[in-house]
Amino acid sequence: MTLINNLNKGDWIRKELFRAIEACRIAIIFLSKNYATSTWCLDELVKIMKYENNRTIFQIFYDVCPSDVRHLWGSFAQAFIQHEINHKIDPKRVKIWKRALRAAAEISGFNLLNDVYKG
C-alpha cells in the first residue's frame, strides 16, 4: 500500500487511510468480538463497503459467530447499545454502521472460532 507507506509525520492518518481504502482492489475485514466497539473500525468498514462492487473482500470472523455480526447479537448488540446512548455519536452514523456490518456479514468468509462454537 504505497499511500500508507508514504505517510509523513504530521499527515492525517484517517485521510490517508481512507484514500488507500478507495484505491485498493482487495480488502480484508477481520471481525472479532470487540470490533463493533471501535468507531474507527466501523468508519473504515463503511468506507470499504461503499466500494464493495469494485473490489474483492475477504471476511475473517475471529472468535465470533457470523450470525452475531449479521443480526447484531452478543458483543455486537452490547457495542451498539453503548453507541446509541453516547450523545456524541450521531444516530444516523450508528444506523450507517449497522447497515455496513450487516452487509459485510452477508459476504462469505473464513470462520476462526474458539471451542465455544465448535460442535
Residue indicated by cell numbers 462492487: 53
Query: Which three cell numbers, joined as nine digits, stand for 42?
Result: 466501523
Sheet with 109-112: strands ordered across: 26-31, 56-62, 109-112
- Out of 44, 52, 84, 106, the active site residue is 44
Active site residue 44: yes
Q: Indicate the SS3 state at residue 113.
A: coil
Active site residues: 44
